[in-house]
Amino acid sequence: MTDMPSQTAAPRWLGLWPAAMLTLFFLAPFGIMLAVSVAHRDVSGFYEWGFEWDSYARFLSVFFAKVMAVSLSVSLAAAAICVLLGFPFTVFLSAMGHTAQTRILVVLLSVLALSEVIIGFSLSTLLSQTAGIGNLFHWLGLIPEPRAYTPSLFALIAGLCYIGFPFAVLVLYPPVSRLDPELIEAARVMGASGPRAFFGVIIPNLRGAIVGAFILVFVFTLGSYLLPQLLGRSEHWTLSVHITDQAIYQSNLPFAAAMSVFLMLVALALVGLASLAGRERGAA
């Protein structure tokens, strides 16, 4: 009897497969990055293996503290906007007819096929002075002169949201469409107004999904290094941009690695906090 489950279940060695993948594609590169972050920079262009905290020490400056703050707030803002827009959007989407839902989801998915470069250049054209939306506003008489809306924080966040929005909707869609519509009707019968049922029943029941969408967009936009350069001013350059800059243009791999380790730790801490907040209290 005790042998039965192991016959029907997958062989035990199959469990090693995820472990192997994790080691190969995550732990090993991460180990290399850690090692490089404490290596000694060779000014002639590369690095020598060694152990020193110089790169970390260099990072602990007011300048990089600001960069870190900018990175986090830009990504947090993008994640918040995506969830704030994406959640009601998904709720309405799941109330639509089947074909309408499919069509809208296909359009959203097709946005995922666009690369960051295309999105960045399209938006910078769309927000430019010569060919952009400013001309439309001018023509409508809303503003006296056509003006550029890029580079700016607004343009940067708009770009990040454009990328993050489909991800938010895709994470939210399955749990939202699975939510029993009778839950809302029950709340209504029991005296809850529309908004009250929305905030008191829909949101608490989908808290996990909302936090999941938030974390996904946050982490995803945190790694964006093209859009800040295309759409933001230099003070909006995120840590990812600086990491790219150090690694590729300044050839300072130890410093780039140290910054990456830092970024990862902070991101992990935030993700941990968020998932703590998202956990249903008292649930098994």
Partner 1 sequence: MTTLRIEGLSKLFGTFKALDDVSLEIPDGKFVCLLGPSGCGKTTLLRVIAGLETPSAGRVFVGGADQTLVPTHKRGMGMVFQSLALFPHLDVADNITYPLAIRGVDKATRRARAEELLDLVRLPGLGARRVHQLSGGQRQRVAIARGLSINPQVFLLDEPLSALDASLREHMQIELRQIQQSLGVTTVVVTHDQKEALTMADLVIVMKDGVIQQAGAPMEIYHNPANAFVAGFIGTTNLLPCEINAGAISVLGHSLAAADGDRIAVSRGPASLSVRPEHVLLGAPEEGLRAEVTFVRDLGESRHVLMRAGDQDITAHLPPGGALRVAPGDTVGVSFRPGERVVVQ
Binding site for partner 1 (CB under 8 A): 180, 182-183, 185-193, 196, 201, 204-205, 207, 280, 282-284
Residue 4 burial (CB count, 10 A): 8
Give which of 165, 204, 202 is closest to 86, Cα–Cα: 165
Assigned token pair, 23: 């080691």
Assigned token pair, 218: 């946050």
Sign of the alpha-carbon dihedral angle for 223, 226, 227, 232: positive
Cβ 188 to partner 1, closest distance in Å?
5
Cβ 199 to partner 1, closest distance in Å?
12
Phi, psi of 49 (to 5 degrees): -60, 145
Looking at beta carbons only, is 43 or 189 nearer to partner 1?
Answer: 189
Looking at beta carbons only, is 58 or 207 nearer to partner 1?
Answer: 207
| Cα–Cα distance measured from residue 157 to residue 18, given in angstroms and rounded to the nearest whole number | 36
Cβ 77 to partner 1, closest distance in Å?
28
Looking at beta carbons only, is 31 or 181 nearer to partner 1?
Answer: 181
Looking at beta carbons only, is 180 or 235 nearer to partner 1?
Answer: 180
Cβ 190 to partner 1, closest distance in Å?
4
Assigned token pair, 52: 């020193």
Cβ 284 to partner 1, closest distance in Å?
8
Looking at beta carbons only, is 205 or 251 nearer to partner 1?
Answer: 205
Cβ 203 to partner 1, closest distance in Å?
9
Beta bridge partners of 41: 47
Q: Are 162 and 123 in contact (CB under 8 A)?
A: yes
Q: Which ranges of 96-179 would DSSP assign to H, the alpha helix?
A: 98-112, 116-126, 133-139, 153-178
Looking at beta carbons only, is 9 or 189 nearer to partner 1?
Answer: 189
